[in-house]
């Protein structure tokens, strides 16, 4: 069920498009998140070491709770990739890292393109996007944040999530960039086809241009894309605003982000 917050039922809804950050045994080991939750009482010893006598402990003080993320890659949960992820240069210049993402790109009008009919391992084409956009009645420009709905967020938490899905082709990614948007996202594990499908296609055709083809568009043209979004089915085709603010991790290729949509 979509996580929907309605501060004022008559004016707007805030819809959470982000995956919960928690340990999940269904994730591949190289993508698993591990968090250590510290009990309230553990802080008492620290306060004593800092010099507060026991007699001065507030009677209702059990100690503060605390938590430590002991393992989490920047691509492990809902996140946004920077051009640096795709390669060290983009359009002939040093590629931007995630802390260099302009804040004005983090807010914009959203459009959902419904590609839920696409089968696993069948790449999304420009024709697919053109047909999906026509159904929305929306227009794209440089401020638009495009959300690709595949419906594969239903697999989150299962061992199949990273193995199944459609995926953007290089041509489809170029098609979006040609129309202005430079921030986009998808509700499956990755922007491209699943790894096993990419590898199988490369072997079957003996073509060395197919692997990670949509990501590699970013080596030629800077753009930013989100992966592992969820709840896109709770959104209208357009007429809402997207907000995506990545953690400001200096020099990083991506960052976890809390992505929300505001429907007014």
Residue-wise pLDDT tens digits, 157-169: 999 999 999 999 9
* Alpha-helical segments (H) within the chain: 42-49, 83-86, 126-136, 170-178, 195-205, 213-216
pLDDT over 60 at 7, yes or no: no
232: tokens are 């896109």
- The pTM of the full predicted model, rounded to 2 decimals, is 0.93
Whole-angstrom distance, CA of residue 91 vs CA of residue 187: 27
What share of the chain in percent tops pLDDT 70?
Answer: 96
Contact assessment for residue 184 and residue 145, using Cβ atoms and an 8 Å cutoff: yes
pLDDT over 50 at 86, yes or no: yes
Give the mean pLDDT of 170-175.
98
Report the pLDDT value the prediction gives residue 46, as an integer from 0 to 100: 83
Q: Nearest to residue 133, comparing CAs of 156, 117, 116, 111?
A: 111
- Burial classification of residue 162, based on how many CB atoms lie within 10 Å of its CB (0-12 exposed, 13-18 middle, 19 or more buried): buried
- Return the domain boundaries, the chain: 4-26+72-263, 34-71
What share of the chain in percent tops pLDDT 90?
Answer: 86
pLDDT over 80 at 5, yes or no: no
CATH number (3.40.50.1220, 3.30.1360.120, 2.40.50.100, 3.50.30.50) of 4-26+72-263 reads 3.50.30.50
Contact assessment for residue 214 and residue 173, using Cβ atoms and an 8 Å cutoff: yes
pLDDT over 60 at 150, yes or no: yes
199: tokens are 């590898």
Residue 45 confidence class, pLDDT cut points 50, 70, 90: confident
In 10 A of CB 76, how many CB atoms? Answer: 22
Strands (E), the chain: 4-8, 12-16, 34-38, 66-71, 79-81, 89-90, 93-94, 107-114, 145-149, 183-186, 224-227, 238-246, 254-263
Between helices 126-136 and 170-178, what is the axis angle to 10°?
40
Give the mean pLDDT of 81-85.
98
Report the pLDDT value the prediction gives residue 200, as an integer from 0 to 100: 97
Residue-wise pLDDT tens digits, 193-230: 999 999 999 999 999 999 999 999 999 999 999 999 99
Give the mean pLDDT of 82-91.
98
| Higher per-residue pLDDT: 60 or 196 | 196
pLDDT over 50 at 1, yes or no: no
């Amino acid at each position: 069920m979509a996580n929907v917050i309605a501060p004022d039922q008559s004016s707007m809804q805030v819809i959470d498009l982000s995956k919960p950050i928690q340990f999940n045994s269904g994730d591949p080991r190289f993508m698993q998140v591990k968090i250590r939750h510290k009990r309230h009482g553990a802080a008492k010893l620290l306060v004593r070491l800092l010099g507060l006598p026991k007699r001065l402990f507030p009677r209702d003080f059990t100690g503060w709770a605390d938590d430590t993320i002991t393992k989490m890659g920047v691509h492990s949960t809902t996140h946004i990739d920077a051009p640096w992820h795709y390669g060290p240069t983009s359009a002939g210049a040093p590629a931007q890292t995630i802390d260099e993402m302009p804040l004005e790109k983090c807010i914009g009008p959203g459009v959902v393109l419904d590609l839920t009919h696409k089968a696993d391992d069948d790449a999304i084409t420009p024709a697919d996007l053109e047909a999906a956009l026509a159904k929305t009645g929306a227009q794209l420009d440089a401020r638009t944040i495009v959300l690709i709905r595949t419906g594969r967020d239903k697999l989150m938490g299962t061992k199949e999530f990273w193995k199944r899905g459609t995926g953007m082709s290089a041509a489809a990614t170029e098609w979006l960039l040609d129309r202005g948007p430079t921030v986009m996202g998808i509700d499956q594990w990755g922007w491209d086809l699943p790894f096993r499908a990419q590898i199988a296609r490369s072997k079957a055709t003996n073509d060395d241009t197919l692997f990670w083809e949509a990501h590699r568009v970013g080596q030629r043209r800077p753009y930013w894309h989100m992966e592992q979004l969820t709840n896109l089915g709770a959104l209208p085709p357009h007429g809402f605003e997207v907000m995506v603010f990545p953690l400001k991790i200096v020099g990083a290729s991506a960052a976890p982000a809390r992505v929300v949509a505001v429907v007014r």
